[in-house]
């Protein structure tokens, strides 16, 4: 039988902890009200609610909502959504994490660059991790609508299907992308072709096509570099500028084969 004195002491300690938590929460409320643009304060507030002394995931969600409203900067919002998604995962709420990711990508600007595709990338990674092919398709189609005629969006779609070993479907998406992009702009499909060459090589040698495999990371880096070179060529078509681009390629030997391909196609 438990000692009544010890039981009373435990209740008292629990009550004190609750009182201390309430006091700490009041401190954060006062501090964020006085300085609503302070990222560090809001981050600590969220960490407190998600920690042992806080109110748990429900309280954390409420603070995340307020933090997003107080800090509209896109870079900060990107970090907050990443953090919120991780918190939902840590608390074991798959549906909660999906809601956060869905909300994030729906609020991202369509087209362009920046943090847009990063949000979609994380959403696809989440659904790949859950093994949900239907959800991967739905998210990837949403990505293509948000970034029409974007070759890298197609690559993310293909990569997600490859990670789930849906190789026939992945090749169909690649064919669809090549058809749409090459019809829209000469050579715009080359980024997909670069990725597919690496993909096919991995399949032939029976190597991994997992989402986080280094072959995809390396290919993604090459694709971004190729995009950058293409943009340079669009804006600088005179001989001097072309020579400048060639000079850049010489000093980046790891991606030299990409530039050789672009030169052979007549872009550089």
- Whether residue 28 has pLDDT greater than 80: yes
Would you place residue 109 in the very low, low, confident or very high pLDDT band (cuts 50, 70, 90)?
Answer: confident
What is the number of H-type helices and E-type strands within the chain? 13, 0
DSSP annotation of 253 reads G
- Whether residue 212 has pLDDT greater than 90: no
Q: How far apart (Å, rounded) are the C-alpha atoms in residues 236 and 221?
A: 23
The Cβ of residue 132 has, within 10 Å, a number of other Cβ atoms equal to 16
Q: Do residues 202 and 163 lie in contact, with contact meaning Cβ atoms separated by under 8 Å?
A: no
- Distance set, CA 81 to CA 96, 105, 108 (Å): 12, 10, 11
Of 93-107, 137-151, 202-216, minimum mean pLDDT range: 202-216
Per residue in 158-170, pLDDT (tens digit) is 999 999 999 999 9
- Whether residue 238 has pLDDT greater than 70: no
The Cβ of residue 117 has, within 10 Å, a number of other Cβ atoms equal to 20
Q: How far apart (Å, rounded) are the C-alpha atoms in residues 169 and 95?
A: 26
Residue 18: per-residue pLDDT = 83
Residue 29: per-residue pLDDT = 96
């Amino acid at each position: 039988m438990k000692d009544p004195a010890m039981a009373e002491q435990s209740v008292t300690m629990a009550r004190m902890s609750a009182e201390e938590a309430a006091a700490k929460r009041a401190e954060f409320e006062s501090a964020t009200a006085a300085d609503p643009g302070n990222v560090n304060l809001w981050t600590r507030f969220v960490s407190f609610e998600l920690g042992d002394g806080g109110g748990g995931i429900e309280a954390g969600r409420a603070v995340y909502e307020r933090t997003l409203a107080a800090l509209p900067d896109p870079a900060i919002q990107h970090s907050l959504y990443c953090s919120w998604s991780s918190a939902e995962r840590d608390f074991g709420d798959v549906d909660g994490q999906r809601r956060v990711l869905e909300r994030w990508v729906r609020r991202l600007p369509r087209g362009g660059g920046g943090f847009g595709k990063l949000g979609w990338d994380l959403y696809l990674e989440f659904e790949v991790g859950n093994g949900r092919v239907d959800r991967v398709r739905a998210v990837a189609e949403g990505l293509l609508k948000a970034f029409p005629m974007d070759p890298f969006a197609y690559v993310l779609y293909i990569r997600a299907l490859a990670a789930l070993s849906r190789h026939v479907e992945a090749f169909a998406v690649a064919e669809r992308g090549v058809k749409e992009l090459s019809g829209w702009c000469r050579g715009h499909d080359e980024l997909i072709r670069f990725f597919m060459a690496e993909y096919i090589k991995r399949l032939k040698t029976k190597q991994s096509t997992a989402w986080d495999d280094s072959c995809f990371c390396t290919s993604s880096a090459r694709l971004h570099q190729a995009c950058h070179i293409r943009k340079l060529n669009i804006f600088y078509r005179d001989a001097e500028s072309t020579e400048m681009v060639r000079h850049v390629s010489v000093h980046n030997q790891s991606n030299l084969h990409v530039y050789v391909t672009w030169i052979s196609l007549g872009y550089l």
